[in-house]
Amino acid sequence: MSEIIRTDVVIVGAGPVGLFAVFELGLYDLKCHLIDILDRPGGQCAELYPEKPIYDIPAWPEISGQALVDRLMEQIKPFSPQFHLNRMVTKLERQADGSFRVETDEGEIFETKVVVIAAGGGSFQPKRPPVPGIEAYEGTSVFYSVRRMEAFRDQDVMIVGGGDSALDWALNLQPIAKSLTLVHRRAEFRAAPDSVKKMFELVDSGGIRFELGQVTGLKGENGQIAAVKIKDSDGEKELPATRMLPFFGLTMKLGPVADWGLNLHENLIAVDTEKFETSEPGIFAIGDINWYPGKLKLILSGFHEAALMTQAAKRIVSPGERVVFQYTTSSTSLQKKLGVQ
């Protein structure tokens, strides 16, 4: 078992609002660990629209999603936040002393006085293709990622998609699979040209079967697929397969947050507008994931929520201590923390 990480604040989600929370909390000496399912900070800004300009960040007439993230990372640097990426928080429990125990799917354990949920639209998870009845096969013969390559050895593997995940796994699993079929709806691929070239070489040598078409249905029983129905320009046909890997990109799901016993409002976490605290004292929710009357899903609203949340978080972490509100323009102590004094 890994060592327990003790901290003041665990922030779930490293999007713009989670990042700015590090700044506000840092001004009050609260140390933060951030956990995010993506492999880099920035959330939707970095994942969905890194190059899209945003026009409603105060004082930035135009800034791209990635530039905003880069600036925030620069701004919070003095507070040395610790990032735990490629991880999902699976468990959140209150302990006898009122603090929280947070666990991730990578086995890390955190003990923290405050939890800030800044999970935006939820966690990015593989998109389930809208194939009727696919749920019945998930986890047994239909997978959205490859955790263990051995699970595909000597299987009739079908990979669906035209991006890097689809092509990379087609090339990696081809040597150990009994057969490998790649299904994509068109002859163009988003994947790296080199992978596409290698794939077509394998098609020519008979190592990979390439099918132009779209998956419309599955056949099988007891969680085990036997064949996949493919629709192409000539109609529908069935191809045998014992394992399927659909790669249809990512979508956002609330995920385990829904099981933490917090009051929800239509899949969003209900909070008050003084502290942005959830129905569980000590657990806050800021940014797109929260709801209160009048809520707008704007990055700037999330920044405001982070500032107000911090006042309440400080009182939990340092009970009895007077919380002094100061300005970064004039406070020498804040400037010291920012490393500019």
Partner 1 sequence: MTKITFVSFDGTTRTEVDAENGSTVMENAIRNAIPGIDAECGGACACATCHVYVDEEWTQEVGEPEPMEEDMLDFAYDVRPTSRLSCQIKVRDEMDGLVVHIPERQS
Residue numbers of the site for partner 1 (CB under 8 A)?
48-49, 52, 121, 127, 129-130, 161-163, 184-186, 188, 190, 214, 216, 231, 248-249, 251-252
The residues with which 93 forms a beta bridge, in sequence order, are 101
Q: 310 among the known binding-site residues?
A: no
**Measured from the CB of residue 170, what is the shortest distance to partner 1 in angstroms?**
15
Give the whole-angstrom CA distance, residue 302 versus residue 334.
22
The residues with which 89 forms a beta bridge, in sequence order, are 104
**Measured from the CB of residue 188, what is the shortest distance to partner 1 in angstroms?**
7
Nearer to partner 1, 94 or 231 (CB): 231
Nearer to partner 1, 13 or 120 (CB): 120
DSSP letters spanning 33-83 = EEE-SSSSTTHHHHHT-TTSEE--BTTBSSEEHHHHHHHHHHHHGGG-PEE
Angle at 104 between CA 102 and CA 106, to 5 degrees: 145
Q: 49 among the known binding-site residues?
A: yes
Count of C-beta atoms within a 10 Å radius of residue 98? 10
**Measured from the CB of residue 235, what is the shortest distance to partner 1 in angstroms?**
14
**Measured from the CB of residue 214, what is the shortest distance to partner 1 in angstroms?**
6
Give the whole-angstrom CA distance, residue 252 versus residue 125.
6
Element (H, E) at 181: strand 179-184
Nearer to partner 1, 195 or 214 (CB): 214
Q: 89 among the known binding-site residues?
A: yes
Residues 75/27, Cβ–Cβ less than 8 Å: no
Q: 36 among the known binding-site residues?
A: yes
**Measured from the CB of residue 190, what is the shortest distance to partner 1 in angstroms?**
5
Q: 44 among the known binding-site residues?
A: yes
Q: 248 among the known binding-site residues?
A: no
DSSP character at residue 135: G
Nearer to partner 1, 71 or 127 (CB): 127
89 burial type by CB count under 10 A (0-12 exposed, 13-18 middle, 19+ buried): buried
Nearer to partner 1, 40 or 231 (CB): 231
Nearer to partner 1, 41 or 129 (CB): 129
Residues 219/226, Cβ–Cβ less than 8 Å: yes
Asked whether the CA dihedral 209, 215, 216, 217 is positive or negative, the reply is positive
**Measured from the CB of residue 131, what is the shortest distance to partner 1 in angstroms?**
8
Asked whether the CA dihedral 163, 165, 166, 170 is positive or negative, the reply is positive
For residue 262 the two structure tokens come to 């917090």
Q: 242 among the known binding-site residues?
A: no
Annotated binding site for FAD: 36, 44, 49, 89, 124, 288, 329
Annotated binding site: 36, 44, 49, 89, 124, 288, 329
